[in-house]
Amino acid sequence: MNTSCQIISGGVQGNRLAMHRVTQEKTKKRQAGFTLLEVLLAVGLAAMVIVVALVTLHHTSSVRARLDILSEVNGNGRYVLDRLRDDWANIYRNSPSEPVLFIATDGSSGTGVTRLLFRTVQSHFFNDNEATGDICEVEYILAPSLDDKSCFTLTRRCTALNDIGRVNAGSINVILAKNVTELSFEFFDGSDWRSYWDAIDQLPLSGRVHFVLTDTKSGLSLEFSQTVAFCAISPTLSDSQNTINAALSQDN
């Protein structure tokens, strides 16, 4: 009896061990892979990370492109301001007793063209294509653009003069800015600002300009403005008197 009980007990324990091994193997198999739900969650999280990364990259690229466009537009605007400030700061007249050449129209006179004409002493040249000569007749012209009728082109015409005021060389036209959407000149006569100037016996005390440049592709725009005190330079005055006039003009 004892022997048969031992055999039965040993058989039961063997079955239990076998079942335990089978259970462990099934558990190992389940632990070695992923369920469908786990795979779907992993794919969803990866997709979210990729989408966030792509959106961030697109936003960064858009911001960089916007900054590049604004930087280019700002550079063009600063060039116009520097060119105009240099011209206005060195306004020229033959003598205090002679009429001065300074004509400004605001484009509302029927021509649709803003025009500014005067003489100046060039302190330096901005590019190699400019007319050579110290005394120049300068004209700023704002006319409708040939490429885009909604914008305007600002051109500077420069004609070098000799000592007696005659043309010394051909005119040089330089396009200062394209895609100008707004431009206005104003001149101070001592009491009021005027959008035009037609007095042949005197110069404005100062002038100011305001314009807007627009990038047609992106639609981005920048505004620019500047006020310059006029200093009339005359060859009939001494250098010291010209210096005094310049200082008084800047004070005003």
Q: What would the pLDDT profile of 116-158 be if each residue is shown by its tens digit?
A: 998 888 755 545 454 455 788 899 998 888 777 778 999 999 8
Domain contains 61: no
Answer yes or no: is 157 within a domain. Answer: yes
Report residue 246's pLDDT band, with 50, 70 and 90 as the boundaries: very low
Is 4 domain-assigned?
no
In a domain, 37, yes or no: no
**Is 13 part of a structural domain of the chain?**
no
What secondary structure does DSSP assign to 15-46, as a single string? Answer: HHHHHHHHHHHHHHHHHHS--HHHHHHHHHHH
pLDDT confidence of residue 16 = 62
Say if CB 114 and CB 183 are below 8 A apart: yes
Q: What is the chain's alpha carbon radius of gyration, rounded to the nearest angstrom?
A: 40
User: Is the C-alpha dihedral spanning 245, 246, 251, 252 positive or negative?
Assistant: positive
- Whether residue 146 is contained in a domain is answered as yes
pTM, two decimal places: 0.66
Identify the residue with better confidence: 63 or 222: 222
Q: Which span out of 36-40, 163-167, 217-221 was modeled with the highest average pLDDT?
A: 217-221
| pLDDT for 178 | 87
Domain extent at residue 230: 67-251
> Can you give the pLDDT at residue 100?
76
pLDDT, the chain, mean: 75
Cβ 155 vs Cβ 175: under 8 Å: yes
User: Tell me: the pLDDT tens digits for 66-120?
Assistant: 899 999 999 999 999 999 998 888 888 766 666 678 888 876 544 456 889 988 8
Calpha distance 122→91 (Å, rounded)? 9
> Is residue 28 pLDDT above 60, yes or no?
no
Domain count, the chain: 1
- 180 lies in a domain? yes
43 located within any domain = no
In the chain, the percentage of residues whose pLDDT exceeds 90 is: 20
